[in-house]
Structure formats: structure tokens, C-alpha cells
């Protein structure tokens, strides 16, 4: 008869998640395996399968946690955007850069790991909560525009997200000044201002 006793390792699930976060931070999203996470957690290669279906399942859980933390940070940065939505929007941009720098393993799992969200409801909901803050900010910022000149809020948010992600990839990693003498913060802020000016939301 097979042994059905539960596996005891304190909290093995959390140990595996922490091990994988460390490996992702060191080697990127493709730089770890479930077996390597198990080795770092000090358990057998078979032990993780008691908690995760496979490597992608573990990666999705890390991304979900990252999106939850990201959403909370973005909400705090926005803080309803009153009395100054533009200043709040600037805080959200800084929040994006800070999260990418300070939580690199989560950021990579969320945006650079090629995970599929359609089959993971919890992951999809977490990602939408974070992105929903950006959509809400876009709605508030574009509200003064006439309806026929107002861009769809999700498209607006997508443009800002793409700009933010591009700045992270090109200018916020590595040593300052390697690719540009302009800081990542100034690069993002100037890009957002140019975009908002093009919409007619701010003047010269």
C-alpha cells in the first residue's frame, strides 16, 4: 500500500516560492526549474509536485502575488487622484519604476515570463486589479476632454503601460547613464507629458 502520510517541511509551499523568487532574480524566468527550486528549499525533486503541477504553476503563483502587491502600490500612489490627478498620475509612474527595481523577480514573473493568464482566474483577476488602477487614472485624466476627442480609457492606459515598460527595459536596469544620461524617471515623465500634451490635456 502506498504511503499517504502528508509531507512535513514546515511550510514547503512557501519555501518553494521563496526559492523560486531567488532563482528568478538571479537567472531570469527561464533560469530555474522545479528541481532546482526543490534543491534550494532542501527537499527532494518530487516534493514540489505535492503543491504545484509543474514549473509554470509555481511561476504563475509568484506572478499572482506580484500583481497583488503591484495593485496595492498603484492604488496607494493614485490615492483617488484628488485634488491633483496629474500629480497622482506622476506618482503612479514612479511607482512602476520603483516596483521594477525593488521587486525584480516579481516584475519578471509578471511581465516577462510568457505565462498564460487565461486558464488561471486568480492570476487574471490580480493582473486586472493592477491594470484597473491605470485605467481608472486614464478615465479621470481624460474626463475634461469632449467625448468625441476622448480616447478609450483602456487604450490610453495601454499606451502609458507600454511607455513605462519600455523605459524599464531600456533605461531603468543596469548602471545609471549606460544608455542615456537622462534618468529613467525623467525619461518616463517627459514621455508622459508629451503624450498628455498631444491629447490636449496639458498646455505648453
Query: For each of the chain's 204 residues, which pLDDT tens digit applies?
Result: 333 334 445 688 999 999 999 999 998 877 788 899 999 988 988 888 888 998 899 999 999 999 999 999 999 999 988 889 999 999 999 999 999 999 999 999 999 888 888 889 999 999 999 999 999 999 999 999 999 999 999 999 999 999 999 999 988 876 665 667 889 999 999 999 999 999 999 876
152-158, long-range: CB < 8 A, 24+ apart: 157/131
**Where exactly does CATH 1.10.10.60 map onto the chain?**
7-52
**Where exactly does CATH 1.10.357.10 map onto the chain?**
63-199
Distance between CA 97 and CA 194 in Å, rounded? 18
Distance between CA 134 and CA 141 in Å, rounded? 10
**Residue among 4, 29, 183, 13 nearest 105 (CA):** 29
What pTM was computed for the model?
Answer: 0.86
Class of domain 7-52: mainly alpha
Say what the pLDDT of residue 50 is. Answer: 87
Say what the pLDDT of residue 6 is. Answer: 41
Which CATH entry fits the domain spanning 63-199: 1.10.540.10, 1.10.357.10, 3.10.20.30, 3.20.20.70?
Answer: 1.10.357.10
**Terminal Cα-to-Cα distance of the chain (whole angstroms):** 78
Amino acid at each position: 500500500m502506498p504511503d499517504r502520510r502528508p509531507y512535513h517541511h514546515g511550510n514547503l509551499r512557501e519555501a518553494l516560492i521563496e526559492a523560486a523568487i531567488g532563482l528568478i532574480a538571479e537567472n531570469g524566468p527561464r533560469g530555474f526549474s522545479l528541481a532546482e527550486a526543490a534543491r534550494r528549499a532542501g527537499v527532494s525533486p518530487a516534493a514540489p509536485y505535492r503543491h504545484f503541477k509543474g514549473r509554470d504553476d509555481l511561476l504563475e503563483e509568484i506572478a499572482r502575488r506580484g500583481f497583488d502587491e503591484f495593485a496595492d502600490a498603484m492604488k496607494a500612489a493614485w490615492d483617488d487622484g484628488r485634488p491633483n490627478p496629474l500629480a497622482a498620475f506622476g506618482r503612479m509612474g514612479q511607482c512602476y519604476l520603483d516596483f521594477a527595481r525593488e521587486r525584480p523577480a516579481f516584475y519578471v514573473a509578471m511581465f516577462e515570463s510568457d505565462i498564460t493568464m487565461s486558464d488561471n482566474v486568480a492570476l487574471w483577476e490580480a493582473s486586472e486589479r493592477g491594470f484597473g488602477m491605470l485605467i481608472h487614472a486614464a478615465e479621470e485624466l481624460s474626463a475634461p476632454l469632449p467625448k468625441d476627442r476622448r480616447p478609450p480609457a483602456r487604450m490610453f492606459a495601454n499606451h502609458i503601460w507600454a511607455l513605462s515598460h519600455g523605459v524599464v527595459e531600456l533605461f531603468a536596469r543596469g548602471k545609471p547613464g549606460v544608455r542615456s544620461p537622462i534618468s529613467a524617471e525623467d525619461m518616463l515623465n517627459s514621455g508622459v507629458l508629451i503624450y498628455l500634451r498631444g491629447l490636449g490635456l496639458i498646455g505648453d
